[in-house]
Structure 1
Amino acid sequence: MLNIKRYWEDLSVMQINREAARAHYIPYGDKEGASSGKRGYSPYYQLLNGIWKFRYYSSIADVPADFYEAHTDAEQWDDLIVPSCWQMQGYDQRHYTNLNYPFNVDPPFVPTDNPAGTYVREFNIADEWEAKEKYIVFEGVNSCFYLWVNGEFVGYSQGSRVPAEFNISSQLRPGKNRMAVLVLKWCDGSYLEDQDAWRYTGIFRDVYLLARDTVHMKDVFNRQAFDEGFARAVLTTEIETTGSTTVAGELEDADGHVIASAQAVIDGKGALTFEVQQPKLWNAEQPYLYRLYLMSGEEVLKFPVGFRQIKVADGQFLVNGQSIKLKGVNRHDSHPELGQTIPVKHMIQDLVLMKQHNVNTIRTAHYPNDSRFMELCDEYGFYVIDEADLETHGMGIAGPDWNQQSVHRLSANPEWREAYLDRIVRVVERDKNHPCVVMWSLGNESGYGVNHIAMAEWTRERDRSIPIHYEGAAPINEGLTDTACLDVESRMYTSVPDIVAYATDDKNTKPLFMCEYSHAMGQGPGDLREYWDAFYNHPKLIGGCVWEWSDHGILQHAEDGKPYYAYGGDFGDSPNDKHFCIDGLVSSDRKPHTGLLELKYVMAPVVVKAIDLQTGILELENRYDFVDLSHLDIYWKVESSAQIMQQGRLSAPNIAPHHSDKVTIPYQLNQADTEVNLLTLSFKLKQETKWADSGYELAFAQFELPVEQTAPKKAVFRPKHPLHAAEQGQLLQVEGFDFRYVFNLASGMLQSIERNGVVMLSAPAQYKIWRAPIDNDAQIKEKWQDAGYDRAVMKTYHTHWNQETDGSIHMESSFSMGAVGKFVLLHGEAVWKIAATGEIAIKTDIKVAEDHPFLPRFGLQLILPQGMEQIEYEGLGPDESYIDKRQYVRQGRFHTTVNDMFENYVMPQENGSRYGTKWAIAANHQGMGLRFAATEPFSFNASHFMPEDLTAAMHTYELKARKETIVHLDYKMSGAGSNSCGPELLPEYQLNDQAFAFELTIRPIFSEDEE
């Protein structure tokens, strides 16, 4: 057995021989190389990524005693690429858990059979490095590791997502060298890393060598100060050196012009000062970066300098004196094939998508991200809540007393103080020079106690310029009132009424930050607009971060080769939290869900109000914090009957941030001869940016113009032909000029529709109240099922029919719906009227039984035969929409297909419905089909899956599309909300009507019948 000290269960040891935490930088050989920002341009940087020799052991007890020494059994070692998570390379158990620790809770102890991975790598050292000090940097290793070089023990480190640096000068020799690393899956630090994520292990971030001058700059801290009004900025660069050396500094603007310089001899500690008159300030909308070059000996260091001031004052969050809103998302490191090993291109893909969808803030949930990610946030312009690698969530459910003791146990235990401090020290020291950082976060969901207070006090002493955040100190943790060390009040999933109550209570002096809100799991979220209305209406509400950015599915392939994304339990992992990791605004492969589109337009930078639509006068509100609207063009069009009648483009007026002004759209109001004119405005970028092409839309608005309809729509010609109706047993046969309908008198429902021999209904119509539960139905789903909503069937009490004097056929029925063993859920009266034209008019009156949960939906389900694939509708589109999730869709006439209406969520659920539909057509390729319309806009859905199909399936690959087209015509469907983790669905979005009437029409059509 390997003879090493058990540091992994020793609370007094976080590291052995690890260098003190410092600011992130790479030393370069000249200014030109440093300016490139490319690490490979440095002669003092040597990347050790690549193939390493690797062996996995299910227990550290099985690791050979001499593995780190010279070996002759290389053929028994595997090749493993570094960086990587070894679970994604075929080793160990893939495991997803949210709350539970994946081992017995006995801090600081971890299982005796602690899985281990041994890594070996041979490498050469350049001759030019001989006189240099040489360091090895591990950017991220989960969870702890021991290091040997050339058979000599170097050191130990734990803390998974921050760098560990060692001076290995004395262990290295010229030419070829051998490095060995022992990585353990668990250590006492694992109790502080219980984040909601797949549990990955290994050397998962970059490994590299640095060569340094014998006397060199060790650490740099750029501190800023401003005159009133930001007329002058003073940059004080505090420098720590390993000895006496001359340090010269040059501050360049973004165009490469040196605007300030300084020089000093620094011995241990010293500073350089740079003054800038009328500095260009950094913010997320205008991420202007100066470049600071520090030169000492043969080395050049480069740091981005974004002059900005972050303050909390008067209950508001101020950037450069401006009260702003944090339009944020929570982002885990997540890649569908690499796990937590994130390529730079993947980081950029995330940031580009965020910018395109009006996101300006990222909370690094729940640990520091790769240092290059921080550099990209500086460059692209994001506010970052930089979170320490700290979460003890599992403590709260390991015992019976969540609020009073268990969840706080480690945070309140002084024995863990140094472990907590280590977590904040290393992230603050690494990231202290990044302008993107606007808050330090003490971690996530770890209760609250003296150790958090110690973290905050150290942070404030080290860096008073950045506010401190920690949600775990929220009032839900009763009895813990010492929160003076925190600068903002932070909450999770608090309801809109409750945050408004906070904002309007004068006793609350801190700004409120929703570090998590609006849970974006599956077909959601659906409560974004209400939150943002509150944020904008109350200065004390400074915004928040949606949970979360991306699904965490792992790409897999079914037996038939069909790809799908796996989640908790799919690999036999236990305990697991199933698909709770599939909760993002984008899919695992970064395809935006409709929830992200909703977020984009809810947080849009331009809001439009109609002042006088008769003359085209509108008011534009600029919701940017720092830029005017002159970088946008306004594209406008007026449509009638889906035809563009007028259109144009004009430059957006130069409206200052947080201000409004009027604009006139130069259309001429014409009288439409068929339908209401529709004005659409689209706000698009004038010029290309780093994250979008010119012409990219950031906001839109629509208005119905005040046009009086002067001419009714011309009716389709139908021959005058009497209707014939006759009973045949339980069936009522109704025949017209070119159509034939069949009603089932026992059920009181339409059974068949034919026109010119074309069958247009392949099963009897049914009333439906069940929808395939969406993820955000998690809290109500059980109540629905207990009430029998998922198995409700009709009971028809009586049916009678007659032919009216005008020749139309009337059929009336009385029915109820309920489930076996349950009281009746609702009673209904239905009247079906068939006109000589072939149009079927249906009126349904419903009374819902009391003391039942709100209904998922109510409407008519029709099953159309194979081939009814073409869909046309007027209403909101082109994407799915729901009563509380429709800010991103717009009015229009849309053509699509049944397949294209399907939204492919990892966990199959209700999807693809269109709220606010005026009429819809489902037809075959020849235009033969059914037209649906209602007196009031309705919810329309066409799919190849029954709700029961979606309910039963656990993965998309389990779905088997039906040949038929299943149409739902809903009076109403309950909203999406975010109640998988967030607050209850707002009452106004629940189908809780106790009595209602629903009227609609169905007409068989051929293409020549329509407009």
Structure 2
Amino acid sequence: MICIPRYWENPDIVQVNREAQRASYIPYPSRSLAVAGQRGSSTSYRSLNGQWRFRYCSSIADADEGFYLPGYDTSDWDGLVVPSCWQRNGYDQMHYTNVNYPIPCDPPYVPDNNPAGLYVREFGMPAEWSDKEAYIVFEGVNACFYVWINGELAGYSQGSRMQAEFHIAPYVKPGKNTIAVLVLKWCDGTYLEGQDMWRYSGIYRDVYVLARDKEHIRDVYNKPELSEDLGQAVLSSELIVKGELTVRAELLDQEGKQVASSVDVIADVGQLTLRVDRPNLWNAETPYLYTLLLTAGTEVLAFDVGFRTIEIVQGVFRINGRPVKLKGVNRHESHPVLGHAIPVNSMLQDLKLMKQHNVNTVRTAHYPNDPRFLELCNRYGFYVIDEADLECHGMGREITGNPASFHRLGQDPLWRTAFLDRAIRMVERDKNHPCIVMWSIGNEAGYGANHQAMAHWVKSRDKSRPVHYEGAAPINLGDSDRSCLDVESRMYASLEEMEAYASDPEQEKPFFQCEYSHAMGNGPGDLHDYWELIYRYPQMMGGCVWEWSDHGIKREANEQCDGQPEHYAYGGDFGEQPHDGNFCIDGLVAPDRTPHTALLELKQAIAPIDFEAMDLSQGLIGIHNRYDFSDLGQVKIRYRLECEGEIRAQGELEPVELSPGCKTTVALGGSWPSLYAAAPARSCLLLRAITSQDDWWSDAGHELAFAQFRLAEQPGMDAVPDGERALPAVGLDVQEQGTMLIVAGDEFRYGFDLRQGKLALIESHGLSLLDEPAELTIWRAPMDNDIFIRESWEREGYDRAVQKTYASSWTYLQERNTVEITVRYSLGGYSKGPVVRGTMRWQINGSGEAVLQVEANVAEHLPFLPRFGLQLSMPAGHEEVEYYGYGPHASYIDRRHSTRQGRYLTTADDMMEHYIRPQENGARYGTEWATVTNLQGMGLWFGATKPFSFAVSHYKPEDLASATHDFKLSELKRPQSIVHLDYKMSGSGSHACGPELLRKYRLEEKAFAMEVAIRPIFKEDWQSHGTFVSKW
């Protein structure tokens, strides 16, 4: 067994020989290389990324004594690429937990069988470095590590997501050197790193050696300040120097032109000051960066400089004097293959997608990110809430069940050093990044004196940025003194809570939803409501959706995957205990960054431009510029008049001169009034705001926002005169055959099972169009956001509700050439009373149309229904779908703002939205008519007196509910097309980790009625110039 100091169970020892944290930078040998910023070009930099010799030990007790000595035989060890997470390379146990610690909760102690990873490699020291000071930098190692150089212990560090730098000049020699690292999976710091994530271990960020001049700049703190009118800027650079140096400071603009300079001799500490007249300001919309070059000795350091102010005035968060809304997301460092080892191109992919969807803010949930991510945010324009690597959520789930235990570590003086270390290292590393607009001292870590010490230290070090911490919210029952915090931060606050806060004159801080609208599975569904409220109140500074990406793990199809095809795995799929299942599948994008429809909904909710119909008859449109700093000079606004897929007119508005935050009214002009007057039913005006120029994140023509306005309503079925129904003169042939009532007309036949009270047969021209009896249904495959209400639904038997027919009768209404079938029914599940009672009336007329009128009465004591409607099963081959409603993607009553009304052609397969854990999906809210046919256009037409929720799938709700993973649906896929015609479908909400579904989005009516119509159709008989024309 290896003999090393047992630092890993002592929270008072967080490092040995680690250098004091400094700002992040790379020294370069010249100005030009420093400006270019390609660290590989620097002769002072040597990467140690790449192949290392590696041995995994299931316990530190098995670690090789002396493995760190030069010449130790590692020939039988494996090779492992650094940076990487060893669990993603076949070692150890994959493990996901949200709240619970994956080890016994006994701080500061960890299991005796503490897994360890042993790393060894050689590296060279060039001869030209012989007169240099050598440092080794680890950007991220989880959870703690010891490092040896040529057999000598160079240091120890913990704090998994922060930089650790060691002075190794005393241990290195010219030529070949040996570095050895021992990484432990657990340490006392594990209790401070209880984030909702996969538990990864190893050297997962970059490792490199820096060769520094004997006398060099150690640290730089750039403090940009602006005059009150923002017309004058002063940059104060506070320097810590090793030795005495002549330091030259130059400030370059974006064209590389020098705008200010200063030279001074600095000994130990000092300051250089640069002044700029009429500076260009930095903000997320126009992220203007200057470059500060500091030349000292043979080294040049380069820093991004953004001139901007951050302040809170009368409870309003402001940047550069203007109120700003933070339209954000929470972003874990997550990669489906690499785990926490994130390549730069993956970071850039995330930021590009965010820009495309109007996101302007990132909360680094819940730890400081790779510093290169901050550089990208500086350059490309994102506000960042930089969060300390601190979460003790598992302390709230101790076996005692004592709520006070949640605050134990935050109140215990023994942990003060560890708490402070995490705040100090974050601020010192990241202090020069203009993108950072707020510091966060952690997440879900209780609240006590240690947090207050963190906040006070941060505010004493950086007076330019506010400090946030949600864990101090009163609901968490921690220390009541929150005066050290500048923002009222909450998670998942309801609209009522937000409204109450904004309406309370005693509340002086801005309100920030650091997490809201939990995007798990088919959700969230409340974004539009949140942003209506956020825009209404200046004190609402915005929020960050939880969260950016699903944390699914890509599993290849191999023998270690039990013969399963390639798929994304979640908690429990690796046999780990404890785990939190698919709670890590809660992103706006899939693991491969394919956007879910929820991201499109967010894009529209936070769009930078709003439209309002002021007077459609005259073509008067209100425009609201919701940009904080930008006018609309780079935006084109186009309009289009559409009617059921046909474009009747289109054009582009004259350029709109509109300052940020302002409103105006414009006229479509020209012949618009006459176009409006002549517009047929289902005519819509579509307005689109698009970019006029290419940018790094989009091509010209990218849609920023849209709005659609209906010009005229379509009359319902019952408003169409009977004379237009073209009833045939031939009467209906009606026969009872056993329990089946057969209604036949000209080339059509319906069969109704009188005993079951169900429509059981539809035939047209000899073609069967119904595979099994049509059923009333109230159940849906639970969405992830149904996680709590699902229990109530299942308890009351919603998931197993079947129809009971009490009585059925029929009559032939000869004067209307219609057969009417009346059924008294109920829906209920075993062991429970009926959920719904009511009456159905089917009317089958001589035109071949069947109209269903349903009256439903829901038991008063029961919770709201998931849905209510008719489910039909059409035979295989009926794959083609056309509908008029909201599209092109899925839409629900609370998640439809990213869709637009129109006529859509699709298929049953394409209507489905795949989620890693299957659930209700693919519905189309507000459908007015639809057809489901075979390739030849033969099938059924559906309509209703009121818009309905419509879906076609190859799965019934019970199929989706029974599958744990998307790939398992292949075994359950039905050849039939399952059609849902719903009176209503309850919304998706965000209740998996948020407030209950809003009442207005629930199907909680206790008495209601619906009417739908079904008719066999051959679409080719109803085409005009190749386009199908719906009668309705």
Distance 2:185 2:252 in 1: 45
Q: Equivalent residue for 2:10?
A: 10
Q: Equivalent residue for 2:980?
A: 968
Judged with a 3 Å threshold, the aligned counterparts in structure 2 of structure 1 residues 362 and 479 are, in CA distance, closer, same or farther, namely closer
Q: Equivalent residue for 2:591?
A: 588
4+ aligned runs moved over 6 Å, structure 1: 711-714
Q: Equivalent residue for 1:705?
A: 711
| Deviation of the 1:630 alpha carbon | 1.6
| Deviation of the 1:801 alpha carbon | 0.5
| Deviation of the 1:702 alpha carbon | 0.6
Counterpart amino acid of residue 437 in structure 1: I
Match of 2:610 among 586, 607, 625: 607
Distance 1:890 1:676 in 2: 12
2:454 aligns to what SS in structure 1? Answer: helix
Select between 274-283 and 699-708 the one with higher mean Cα deviation: 699-708
1:8 aligns to what SS in structure 2? Answer: helix
Q: Deviations over 1:243-267 (max 9, x none)?
A: 1000001101111110000000000
Q: Equivalent residue for 1:930?
A: 940
| Structure 2 contact 225–308 (Cα < 8 Å) conserved | no
| Deviation of the 1:705 alpha carbon | 2.2
Q: Equivalent residue for 1:823?
A: 833
Counterpart amino acid of residue 786 in structure 1: R
Distance 2:165 2:724 in 1: 80
Indicate yes or no: 2:649 matched with 1:646. yes
Indicate yes or no: 2:658 matched with 1:663. no
Q: Equivalent residue for 1:910?
A: 920
| Deviation of the 1:507 alpha carbon | 1.1
| Structure 1 contact 138–207 (Cα < 8 Å) conserved | yes
Distance 2:12 2:356 in 1: 47
Q: Where does 1:162-177 land on structure 2 (aligned, <5 Å)?
A: 162-177=162-177
Q: Where does 1:141-180 land on structure 2 (aligned, <5 Å)?
A: 141-180=141-180
Distance 2:784 2:876 in 1: 30
In structure 2, stretches of 5+ residues that fail to align are 1023-1028
Q: Equivalent residue for 1:335?
A: 335
2:75 aligns to what SS in structure 1? Answer: helix
Distance 1:652 1:397 in 2: 58
Q: Where does 1:423-572 land on structure 2 (aligned, <5 Å)?
A: 423-478=422-477, 480-557=479-556, 562-572=565-575
| Deviation of the 1:818 alpha carbon | 0.8
Distance 1:201 1:74 in 2: 21
Indicate yes or no: 2:1011 matched with 1:999. yes
Distance 1:351 1:560 in 2: 36
Distance 2:156 2:397 in 1: 31
| Structure 2 contact 681–712 (Cα < 8 Å) conserved | no
| Structure 2 contact 2–65 (Cα < 8 Å) conserved | yes
| Deviation of the 1:562 alpha carbon | 2.8
1:907 aligns to what SS in structure 2? Answer: coil
| Structure 2 contact 378–434 (Cα < 8 Å) conserved | yes
Counterpart amino acid of residue 184 in structure 2: L
Counterpart amino acid of residue 764 in structure 2: R
Match of 2:846 among 826, 833, 836: 836
Q: Where does 1:18-167 land on structure 2 (aligned, <5 Å)?
A: 18-71=18-71, 73-167=73-167
Counterpart amino acid of residue 730 in structure 2: H
Distance 2:1021 2:989 in 1: 40
Distance 1:863 1:672 in 2: 40
2:776 aligns to what SS in structure 1? Answer: strand
Q: Deviations over 1:290-326 (max 9, x none)?
A: 1111000100000000101111120110111111111
Q: Deviations over 1:755-787 (max 9, x none)?
A: 001111110000000000000001100100000
1:228 aligns to what SS in structure 2? Answer: coil
| Structure 1 contact 399–406 (Cα < 8 Å) conserved | no
Counterpart amino acid of residue 654 in structure 1: E
| Structure 1 contact 18–155 (Cα < 8 Å) conserved | yes
Q: Equivalent residue for 1:890?
A: 900
| Deviation of the 1:931 alpha carbon | 0.6
Q: Equivalent residue for 1:678?
A: 684
1:200 aligns to what SS in structure 2? Answer: coil
Match of 1:945 among 944, 955, 960: 955
Counterpart amino acid of residue 951 in structure 1: A
Distance 1:987 1:856 in 2: 13
How well do the aligned residues superpose, as a CA RMSD in angstroms? 1.4
| Structure 1 contact 674–712 (Cα < 8 Å) conserved | no
Q: Deviations over 1:323-365 (max 9, x none)?
A: 1111010000000000000000000000000111111111000
Distance 1:1009 1:801 in 2: 32
Aligned length: 1009
Counterpart amino acid of residue 445 in structure 2: S
| Deviation of the 1:74 alpha carbon | 2.7
Indicate yes or no: 2:794 matched with 1:797. no
1:411 aligns to what SS in structure 2? Answer: helix
| Structure 1 contact 183–202 (Cα < 8 Å) conserved | yes
Q: Deviations over 1:952-990 (max 9, x none)?
A: 110011112110000000000100000001100000101
Distance 1:576 1:708 in 2: 52
Select between 834-843 and 768-777 the one with higher mean Cα deviation: 834-843
Distance 2:1004 2:780 in 1: 15
Distance 1:547 1:1009 in 2: 50
Distance 1:909 1:250 in 2: 58
Q: Where does 1:743-762 land on structure 2 (aligned, <5 Å)?
A: 743-762=752-771
Q: Deviations over 1:444-466 (max 9, x none)?
A: 00110000000011101100100
Q: Equivalent residue for 2:990?
A: 978
Distance 1:936 1:520 in 2: 30
Counterpart amino acid of residue 687 in structure 1: Q
Q: Deviations over 1:649-707 (max 9, x none)?
A: 23541211111011112352335575232110111000011111110001001112259
Match of 1:990 among 1002, 1009, 1016: 1002
Superposition TM-score, scaled by structure 1 size:
0.98
Distance 2:609 2:572 in 1: 44
1:22 aligns to what SS in structure 2? Answer: coil
Q: Where does 1:288-437 land on structure 2 (aligned, <5 Å)?
A: 288-403=288-403, 405-437=404-436
| Structure 2 contact 446–478 (Cα < 8 Å) conserved | no
Counterpart amino acid of residue 600 in structure 2: L
2:155 aligns to what SS in structure 1? Answer: strand
| Structure 2 contact 448–478 (Cα < 8 Å) conserved | no
Distance 2:334 2:599 in 1: 17
Superposition TM-score, scaled by structure 2 size:
0.96
Judged with a 3 Å threshold, the aligned counterparts in structure 2 of structure 1 residues 897 and 672 are, in CA distance, closer, same or farther, namely farther
| Structure 1 contact 630–651 (Cα < 8 Å) conserved | no
| Deviation of the 1:715 alpha carbon | 5.7
2:180 aligns to what SS in structure 1? Answer: strand
| Structure 2 contact 49–83 (Cα < 8 Å) conserved | yes
Distance 2:343 2:714 in 1: 58
Q: Deviations over 1:932-967 (max 9, x none)?
A: 011000000100011000011100111121100000
| Deviation of the 1:510 alpha carbon | 0.6
1:389 aligns to what SS in structure 2? Answer: coil
Counterpart amino acid of residue 505 in structure 1: D
Distance 1:419 1:931 in 2: 67
Indicate yes or no: 2:722 matched with 1:723. no
Distance 2:730 2:386 in 1: 75
Q: Deviations over 1:808-843 (max 9, x none)?
A: 111111001111111111101011111111011110
2:730 aligns to what SS in structure 1? Answer: coil
Judged with a 3 Å threshold, the aligned counterparts in structure 2 of structure 1 residues 306 and 803 are, in CA distance, closer, same or farther, namely same
Q: Deviations over 1:784-813 (max 9, x none)?
A: 000000000111011111110222111111
| Deviation of the 1:480 alpha carbon | 2.3
Counterpart amino acid of residue 658 in structure 2: I
| Structure 1 contact 551–581 (Cα < 8 Å) conserved | yes
